[in-house]
Amino acid sequence: MPAGAPGQYPDPIQPQIDLNDVLAQQTMPIGSATVTWANAANSAPSVPQTRFTLPDVGLASAIYLEFDGGSATAYDLTIGAGAAAAVDEGPFSIVDGYSLVVNGGTGFYEVSGFGAKLLNDLESDFYSSSAEPGPAFNTAPTAIASRLFNYPVAADGRPRFGVIIPLSVSYENPLGMILVQNPTTTVDLVIRWASLSGYATLTAGAVAALSLTVTATLEYYEMPPRPVFDALVRPELRWAHQFIETRQAINGVGRDANTVSLDVHDTYLRIAHLVKVNNLLDTDDIDGVRFTLNRTIHKYDHSWATHARRQRRFYGKDVPAVIWDQFATRTMRDAIHADGYTDLGSKIDLSSATVLGAAGTNFIRTITEKLVDLDSVA
């Protein structure tokens, strides 16, 4: 029996033979790059984008990105008589967006900087990209929390934050992994950088310089022997794990004024809406939400308060978004098989008292997480 073959090491917890018997996670560094923003109120990045090419090893399951200023003055503020304020999306929106490019084409992961952070926070009820998990270990020499997240705005400081780009559907489940140990497949992660206003709002003469180094680490599975790969791994590779973010304008206030129409293909695991009113994340002005099938059937229909309570139940925390989670159980029980419908819609009702500002400042960003059956793609 070849090394690593199913059954070689019996599993008393899950005795059935599955992918867990033939795959084990590993990590390796894949590169780093430094980007700077010149001393100004809203300078452009020194480069428009950074690209990391995944090495052709194994089966990729996730990419970890660590952003670090590197020094106590990496964010160098000259405030004078001006003002410096944090942006509502935190340091994450210094990244305009992430793209996963496979064989030169996008379509697997197209998400904004803050959208990536939000998806991480939904991954489990104990993980957060920013919030400190507890004060016990945030004092030197065990200041763990501040090593993971630090967001200086009103004074000089060393920014630190990170995100995970998921390829598999979850840490526990390798479905959706990408075979990169393949001479015919190239996979690149592209980071598109935003201007300095994505990091902080500087007014009345305040200026700042910023430097960030991003370091990428690949989490992957080693390739099993060919007979095992053909029997257990290859069938899983027919499924792609896709994240796409889109944007549409808010049409008005009141019931049924805003409907996000969704593509009727593939299998939806999660849908996340970020509501921006006057360029600020806004959940206070949401009255109610509904998810409709074929325009007339309400799969879900409830108030915002009930929706937020359900999200607490799923995630153990509050998130500044409307989430339709069809994968909260980590099973396909609630998944929406969109091909069976002619119309899918998500309705977000804003209170009639909501004051909408200038055109272009009121919009809904929508992130869809889907499983795509590659065998069914022509």
Say which CATH number the domain at 174 has: 2.70.9.30
Residue 16 covered by a domain: no
- Pseudo-torsion of CA 118, 64, 266, 293, nearest 10°? -10
* Pairing status of strand 49-53 against strand 75-78: unpaired
Plot region of 115 (φ>0 → left; ψ -120 to 50 → alpha; else → beta): alpha
Query: Which residue in 282, 243, 311 sits closest to 62, CA to CA?
Result: 243
**Whether residue 233 is found in the same domain as residue 255:** no
Alpha helices in 254-353 (DSSP H): 304-315
Give me the residue label for tokens 């496979």.
Answer: 102
CA 244 to chain centre: 10
Domain endpoint, select from 203, 238, 273: 238
How many degrees, rounded to 5, is the angle at CA 243 between CA 239 and CA 244? 130
Q: Are residues 79 and 158 in the same domain?
A: yes
Residue that terminates a domain, selected from 238, 262, 293: 238
Q: Which DSSP helix (H) or strand (E) runs through 78?
A: strand 75-78
**Same domain, residue pair 154 and 178:** yes
**In this structure, is residue 17 part of a structural domain?**
no
Q: 293 and 151 in one domain?
A: no
Which pLDDT does position 378 carry in this prediction? 53
- Phi, psi values for residue 224, rounded to 5°: -80, 170
- 15 in a domain, yes or no? no
pLDDT at 173: 87
User: Same structural domain for residues 86 and 140?
Assistant: yes
Tell me, yes or no, whether 259 and 229 share the same domain: no
Does residue 146 sit in the same domain as residue 290?
A: no
Is residue 188 classed as helix, strand or coil in its secondary structure? strand
141 prior amide bond cis, ω within 30: yes
| 267 located within any domain | yes
The number of domains in the chain is 2
The domain in which residue 188 lies consists of: 22-238
Q: How confident is the prediction along the chain (378 residues), in pLDDT tens digits per residue?
A: 344 455 555 555 566 777 778 898 999 999 999 999 999 999 999 999 999 999 999 999 999 999 999 999 999 999 999 999 999 999 999 999 999 999 998 889 999 999 999 999 998 766 777 766 666 788 889 888 889 999 999 999 999 999 999 999 988 889 999 999 998 999 999 999 999 999 999 999 999 999 999 999 999 999 999 999 999 899 999 999 999 999 999 999 999 999 999 999 999 999 999 999 999 999 999 999 999 999 999 999 999 999 999 999 999 889 999 999 999 888 899 999 999 999 999 999 999 999 999 999 999 999 999 999 998 765
User: Phi and psi dihedrals of 117, rounded to 5?
Assistant: -65, -45
> What is the domain-level CATH number for residue 346?
2.60.120.730
- Are 210 and 263 in the same domain? no
Cα separation, 122 vs 130, in Å, equals 13
Q: Are both 203 and 320 inside the same structural domain? A: no
Q: Within a domain: residue 223?
A: yes
Q: Is residue 7 part of a domain?
A: no
Q: Are residues 297 and 354 in the same domain?
A: yes
